[in-house]
């Protein structure tokens, strides 16, 4: 029964390649690495490694090349595993919870507020409106000197 699952992995890869206009056989290492990255949100790193091994096995039967030994694919698999470890190591923090030490956070006292100094408006600033307009401005045609 494991062969049936492995064949499904190969068929999924072939369908993924066909949907993107890529060749499944002979597969470019970039294609297999991209497929592994595509699988990342859907599978665990261990499952992705098994899928890549199955793709390599079938690819070897057809082309006699071990695609899983390519450095690009090995780096991609290591990167996926590192991301998974990073997700597990990073605790989720609720943005609305109080700090862990139990103390309330006080805002620092502000010093005397300075009044903004008036700046001289730039030439033509009176014509400019602040904010976005719902209708675009019409641009007039300029007469060109001949």
**CATH no. for residue 56?**
1.10.150.130
Q: Do 79 and 39 touch, CB atoms closer than 8 A?
A: no
Residue 107 within any structural domain of the chain: no
Residue 47 within any structural domain of the chain: yes
Residue 12 within any structural domain of the chain: yes
Residue 45 within any structural domain of the chain: yes
| pLDDT tens by residue, 14-57 | 999 999 998 888 888 999 999 999 999 989 999 999 999 999 99
Residue 82 belongs to domain spanning: 2-89
Residue 94 within any structural domain of the chain: no
Q: Do 68 and 79 touch, CB atoms closer than 8 A?
A: no
Which of 8, 2, 1 lies closest to 55 in space, CA to CA? Answer: 8
Q: What percent of the chain has pLDDT over 90?
A: 30
Residue 96 within any structural domain of the chain: no
How many domains in the chain? 1
pTM of the model: 0.57
């Amino acid at each position: 029964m494991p062969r049936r699952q492995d064949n499904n992995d190969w068929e999924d890869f072939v369908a993924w390649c066909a949907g993107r206009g890529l060749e499944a056989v002979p597969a470019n290492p970039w294609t297999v690495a991209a497929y592994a990255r595509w699988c990342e949100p859907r599978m665990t790193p261990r499952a992705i490694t098994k899928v890549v091994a199955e793709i390599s096995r079938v690819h070897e039967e057809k082309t006699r090349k071990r695609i899983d030994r390519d450095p690009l694919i090995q780096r991609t698999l290591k990167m996926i595993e590192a991301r998974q470890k990073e997700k597990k190591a990073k605790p989720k923090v609720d943005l609305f919870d109080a700090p862990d030490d139990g103390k309330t956070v006080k805002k620092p006292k502000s010093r005397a507020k300075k009044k903004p100094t008036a700046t001289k408006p730039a030439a033509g600033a009176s014509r400019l409106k602040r904010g976005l307009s719902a209708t675009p401005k019409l641009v007039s045609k300029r007469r060109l000197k001949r």
